[in-house]
Chains A and B, each alone.
Chain A
Amino acid sequence: MEATNKISKFFFTWVVLFAIWLAFTSTFALAEVVTGVVVSFIIAIYNFNNFTEIGLKSFSPKKVLYMIQYVFVFLWALIKSNLNVALIVLNPKLPINTGIVEFETKLKSDFAKLVLANSITLTPGTFTIDVIDNKYYIHWLDVKCTDRDEVYKEIAEPFEKILLKIFQ
Chain B
Amino acid sequence: METVLQYLGYFFISVGAAFLLLGSFGILRMPDIYSRLQAGTKASTMGSLGMLFGIGFLEPQWLPKIIVIMIFILLSNPISSHAIARGSCKSGIKPKLNETVNSYKRIAEGCEESIKKEE
Contacts and interface: CB of A to CB of B under 8 A. Distances in A.
Partners in one complex: yes
Chain B contact-residue range equals: 35 or more
Contact of A117 (B39, B78, B100): B78
A98 B106 contact: no
Chain A contact-residue range equals: 35 or more
B29 A98 contact: no
Interface stretch (A6-14, A48-56, A123-131, A156-164): A123-131
B103 interface: yes
A86 to B, nearest CB: 5
Contacts of B86: 129-130
A100 B104 CA distance: 6
A102 B105 CA distance: 11
Contacts of A31: none
Contacts of A129: 34, 82, 85-86, 89, 107, 110
B55 to A, nearest CB: 14
A55 B45 CA distance: 29
Is chain B's binding surface mostly helix, strand, loop or mixed? helix
Interface in B17-32: 19, 22-23, 25-26, 29-32
Contact of A97 (B74, B100, B111): B100
Interface stretch (A39-47, A57-65, A74-82): A74-82
Given A100-B107, A125-B38, A26 B97 contact: no
Nearest to B76: A118
B42 A78 contact: yes
B91 interface: no
A34 interface: no
B104 A146 contact: yes
Contact of B38 (A22, A24, A86, A141): A141
Interface in A107-130: 114, 117-118, 121-122, 125-130
27 contacts: A23-B65, A24-B68, A26-B61, A26-B64, A78-B49, A82-B19, A82-B46, A85-B23, A85-B26, A86-B19, A89-B26, A89-B39, A94-B29, A96-B31, A97-B98, A98-B34, A117-B82, A121-B41, A122-B42, A122-B74, A127-B38, A130-B85, A130-B107, A132-B110, A132-B114, A137-B106, A139-B85
The 5 closest A-B pairs by CB, nearest first: A23-B64, A121-B78, A99-B101, A99-B104, A100-B107
Interface of B: 19, 22-23, 25-26, 29-32, 34-35, 37-39, 41-43, 45-46, 49, 61-62, 64-65, 67-68, 74-75, 78-79, 81-82, 85-86, 89, 95-98, 100-101, 103-104, 106-107, 110-111, 113-114, 117
Given A81-B42, A98-B95, A146-B101, 9 more contacts: A85-B39, A88-B26, A89-B25, A99-B97, A99-B98, A100-B97, A128-B85, A129-B86, A132-B114
